[in-house]
């Protein structure tokens, strides 16, 4: 068994990228598409608006009929009808005529301008016009907003309410999106119990199951928490076999070399270990394997180590399956105070962001608040012993 033969982080990422797991595509109703990621480019199938329409309430006219109009020599046009939004105009405008029209209504044939009602007077069947107008005055032409065939959205776009509104405006009832990867989540350990149960001496409540599951959902995947596997072979193997119903499996705890840590041996029995140990701190005892072609990750039990390695290793794979960039989210900040590290050890240190500063959190990876208080983490390279106060650092952010 390949036991803790540590590899660089970059090699672990290459292994993950070599997995044959590919994005899946599904067609869903637009009403279910909020937050999903487009799996195709979208071009407009129609002109928007699909017809020439009035942009104001007023009078549809032939613009040439208004030429020469002035305050002292107004033009009088006969009002021969009315068109409201949603109507299909049947009248063809003749010379010397006008039609009252509402905002959004389609222009009648031969009309090419709309004069706002505030700019004219009305006397019985006549509208009195005091200034000339040009063609398309008060009019939005067909396709002026969105022409047919225009590229509206690119593959990989995450749909917010603005994008779903745009798709609705051009008539999409369904849309193709990347399917949500289905991820089984398993916590391990005799000392772990679920929230809601009475806490006995020596026990702790499970945090990793909740954190990993919701991190998956935040990224856009589907998480299936299978519960807690105890530190015995039968319990852990049963959970892993159950997890094979899904696209991948994530376990937390049970990845190091302790006598009760069985994850590696069970993965090797059922499949293949690709990586067992990564040259980073915290998070060295991490397992990456394959069972029946499905990735399985054994993450450390301490919350900060667990979620740091989830962000570094698992989140990019989930993003890949969702058709999104695998790049980490990063921001540059100034280090709030000096940090010491051990030369030769590549360290990822949790930090909290305060304005333009990154404040290191030094409680250790076993402290719940090391993770909860952190916005992300910074890398201290193996050849660096000191990061100075005020030094610019790159923060890899948790979450989406």
At the second CATH level, the architecture of 330-397 is Beta Barrel (2.40)
**How many helices and strands, by DSSP H and E, does the chain display?**
8, 27
Each residue's pLDDT tens digit, 327-368:
999 999 999 888 888 777 788 998 999 999 999 987 766 667
**34-58 as b/e, with b when 16 or more CB fall inside 10 Å?**
eebbbbbebebeebbbeebbbbbbb
Nearest to 49 by CA among 148, 142, 152: 142
pLDDT score for 33: 97
pLDDT score for 2: 47
Annotate 132-183 with DSSP letters as a single string.
---TTTTEE-TTSSB-TT-EEE-TT-B--HHHHHHHHHTT-SEEEEEPPPEE
Q: Helix, strand or coil for residue 366?
A: coil
Whole-model pTM: value is 0.82
Sequence-ordered alpha helix ranges (H) in the chain: 9-17, 161-169, 208-219, 233-243, 263-270, 303-309, 315-321, 368-372
pLDDT score for 36: 94
Q: Helix, strand or coil for residue 309?
A: helix
Each residue's pLDDT tens digit, 69-99:
999 999 999 999 999 999 998 889 999 999 9
Q: Distance (Å, rounded) from C-alpha 218 to C-alpha 329?
A: 14
Quick one: what percent of the chain has pLDDT higher than 70? Answer: 95
Q: Distance (Å, rounded) from C-alpha 118 to C-alpha 130?
A: 11
Q: Distance (Å, rounded) from C-alpha 237 to C-alpha 286?
A: 18
CATH 2.170.190.11 placement within the chain: 53-140
Distance (Å) of CA 363 to CA 127, 353, 372: 80, 16, 12
Which positions ≥6 away from 277 have C-beta within 8 Å? 3, 4, 5, 6, 7, 284, 285, 286
Q: Report domain 9-24+180-322's class.
A: alpha beta
At the second CATH level, the architecture of 53-140 is Beta Complex (2.170)
pLDDT score for 90: 86
Task: Name the CATH code of domain 27-47+147-178 (choices 3.30.720.210, 3.90.105.10, 3.40.50.720, 3.90.1150.10).
Answer: 3.90.105.10
Instruction: Find the largest Cα–Cα distance for the chain.
Output: 102
Q: Helix, strand or coil for residue 370?
A: helix
**254-289 as b/e, with b when 16 or more CB fall inside 10 Å?**
bbbeeeebbbbebbbebbebbbbbbbbbbbbbbbbb
CATH 2.40.340.10 placement within the chain: 330-397
Mean pLDDT of successive 10-residue segments in the chain (400 residues)?
73 94 95 95 96 96 95 94 92 94 96 96 95 96 95 95 97 97 94 90 91 95 94 90 97 65 88 93 90 95 90 95 90 90 83 92 69 87 86 88
pLDDT score for 339: 85
Q: Which two tokens stand for residue 340?
A: 């010491």
pLDDT score for 255: 58
Query: Phi and psi (nearest 5°) for 80?
Result: -115, 10
> Within a 10 A sphere around the Cβ of 362, how many other Cβ atoms?
12
Pair 38, 166: CB distance under 8 Å: no
């Amino acid at each position: 068994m390949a036991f803790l033969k540590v590899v660089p982080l970059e090699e672990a990422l290459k292994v993950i990228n070599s997995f044959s797991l590919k994005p899946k595509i599904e067609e869903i109703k637009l009403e279910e598409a909020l937050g999903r990621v487009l799996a195709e480019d979208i071009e407009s199938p129609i002109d928007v608006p699909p017809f020439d329409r009035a942009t104001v309430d007023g009078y549809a006219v032939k613009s040439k009929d208004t030429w020469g109009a002035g305050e002292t020599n107004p033009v009088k046009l006969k009002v021969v009808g009315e068109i409201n939004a949603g109507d299909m105009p049947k009248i063809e405008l003749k010379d010397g005529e006008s039609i009252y029209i509402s905002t959004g209504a389609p222009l009648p044939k031969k009309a090419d301008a709309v004069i706002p009602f505030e700019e004219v007077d009305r006397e019985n069947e006549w509208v009195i016009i005091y200034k000339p107008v040009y063609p398309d005055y008060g009019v939005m032409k067909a396709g002026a907003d969105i022409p047919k065939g225009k590229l509206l959205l690119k593959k990989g776009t995450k749909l917010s309410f603005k994008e779903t509104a745009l798709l609705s405006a051009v008539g999409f009832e369904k849309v193709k999106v990347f399917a949500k990867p289905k991820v089984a989540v398993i916590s391990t350990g005799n000392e772990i119990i679920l929230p809601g149960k009475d806490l006995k001496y020596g026990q702790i409540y499970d945090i990793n199951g909740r954190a990993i599951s919701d991190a998956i959902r935040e990224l856009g995947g589907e998480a299936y928490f299978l519960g807690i596997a105890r530190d015995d072979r039968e319990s852990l193997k049963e959970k892993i076999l159950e997890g094979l119903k899904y696209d991948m499996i994530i376990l937390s705890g049970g990845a190091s070399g302790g006598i009760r840590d069985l994850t590696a041996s069970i993965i090797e029995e059922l499949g293949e270990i690709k990586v067992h140990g990564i040259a980073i701190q915290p998070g060295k005892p991490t397992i990456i394997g394959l069972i029946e072609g499905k990735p399985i990750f054994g993450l450390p039990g301490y919350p900060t180590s667990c979620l740091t390695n989830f962000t570094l290793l698992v989140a990019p794979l989930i993003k890949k399956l969702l058709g999104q960039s695998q790049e980490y989210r990063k921001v540059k900040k100034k280090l709030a105070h000096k940090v010491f590290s051990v030369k030769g050890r590549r360290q990822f240190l949790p930090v909290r962001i305060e304005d333009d500063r990154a404040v290191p959190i030094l409680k250790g990876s076993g402290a719940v608040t090391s993770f909860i208080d952190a916005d992300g983490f910074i890398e201290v390279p193996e050849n660096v012993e000191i990061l100075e106060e005020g030094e610019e650092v790159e923060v890899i952010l948790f979450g989406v």
